[in-house]
Amino acid sequence: MPKPPRTKSGATESRDAALRASNPGASEPADIRPQYEALGVDGFYAEHGATYRNPHEATVKKLLETVALDWTLNLESVLDLACGSGEVTLALRALGATVTGADPYTGAAYFDRTGNTAEALSFEDIAGGALEGRAYSLVVCSFALHLAPVSRLPLVAFRLAQVSPALLILTPHKRPEIKAEWGWTRQRETILERVRARLYRSQMDRSSLANQVVSDDAKIF
């Protein structure tokens, strides 16, 4: 079983975040990229979280509809991590999913659209064990995990592998790279309109989760 990765110092993490904010990927929407550069990632969402909308929402919806069917995802208990204004939650609800949202910045926007309250959990909270003791059939992180501080990403990934057998990442980049030593094995990938969907399987012992996250043999993982 993988061991918890070590994290870098706070100073190194701050430098990592600054580097990412100053050089976001070419696929970031043109109207958001300059604001990332000016405010940094945390600053952007702290200022605009209440009104944020993902400009790629239509693509996200189509991609989720496709992979949920083609990959036979288990939607019984989904964590929408960094849930934004709820585009993933709404798309998965329409497919019959039960979804819990989590985002430290966009709670107001999420509530306005979904009628549910998002837990104010950051990547730092996740790395610190905020999800310990929970069990989800699937974690979805859309347009966010590539923004996590690179020093914190290994432990965030490891914590997620402890609470769910499956992780679905939607990203406009080749990033983030989720390594096997962080507790995950990549299973599948597809691309739609330059947005990538990657499905990972947890390497953790899932016997304690089996009764909660798998409803029948037909559902993946």
Report the DSSP beta bridge partners of residue 161.
Answer: none
Query: In whole angstroms, what is the distance from residue 49 CA to residue 81 CA?
Result: 15
* Residue 118 domain flag: yes
* Residue 164 domain flag: yes
* Residue 107 domain flag: yes
Range of the domain at 122: 10-213
CATH number of the domain encompassing residue 90: 3.40.50.150
Domain count, the chain: 1
Q: What percentage of the chain's residues is helix, strand, coil (to nearest 5)?
A: 40, 15, 45
* Residue 220 domain flag: no
Query: In a structure prediction context, what are the per-residue pLDDT tens digits for the chain, which is 221 residues long?
Result: 565 665 444 433 432 333 333 333 333 444 555 554 554 555 555 554 455 666 789 999 999 999 999 999 999 999 999 999 999 999 999 999 999 999 999 999 999 999 999 999 999 999 999 999 999 999 999 999 988 888 999 999 999 999 999 999 999 888 899 999 999 999 999 999 999 999 999 999 655 444 434 333 445 45
* Residue 204 domain flag: yes
Report the DSSP beta bridge partners of residue 195.
Answer: 192
Query: In whole angstroms, what is the distance from residue 39 CA to residue 103 CA?
Result: 18
Q: What is the pTM of this model?
A: 0.75
* Residue 221 domain flag: no
* Residue 219 domain flag: no
Strands 195-202 and 166-171: antiparallel
